[in-house]
Copies of this chain bind each other. A is one copy, B any other.
Amino acid sequence: MADQHELRDKGLRLTPQRELVLAAVRELGHSTPEEVAEKVRLTHPGINLSTVYRNLETLENVGLVQHTHLGHGGATYHAAEELTHLHLVCGKCEAVGDAPLEIAATFVNALSDEYGFKTDVSHFAIYGTCSNCQ
């Protein structure tokens, strides 16, 4: 019912580290591996960065989290459930805003119809300047 089943159903072992990484991603929304590690350390100080990286990768493989490249170099992770919006990335303040998927529907359809390109909404990041930074 809890995370237990969720992870074990995917064929993964249930370790405190893994649970915490998943929980952190869910709570933080968009976050870098570093931020996830920081969050996890609040309750499990000894966790190793490598473990965070490995768990993020593992969790991504089983489809519980996903990552996107929202700018700079670093990847940011978010829970798979949270795919109901687009990411609006501000190039100035680096804030990540959200917008409903529907707003892009016709655009996505056009790309599909005219170019055979299937847009991956989970990786859909849009760069620009947010209203606060203009």
Which residues of chain A have a CB within 8 Å of any CB of chain B? Answer: 68-75, 88, 90-91, 97, 99, 103-104, 106-107, 110-111, 114-120, 123-131, 134
Contact = CB atoms under 8 A, between A and B. Distances in A.
A117 B103 contact: no
Nearest to A114: B103
Q: Which 5 A-B pairs have the closest CB atoms?
A: A116-B131, A123-B127, A107-B107, A119-B128, A73-B73
Contact of A99 (B68, B115, B123, B126): B115
Contact of A127 (B71, B114, B120, B129): B120
Contacts of A73: 69, 73-75
Given A69-B69, A91-B123, 13 more contacts: A68-B127, A73-B75, A103-B107, A103-B110, A103-B114, A111-B128, A115-B131, A117-B128, A117-B131, A118-B128, A123-B128, A124-B126, A125-B127
Given A107-B106, A126-B124, A88 B117 contact: yes
A72 B67 CA distance: 10
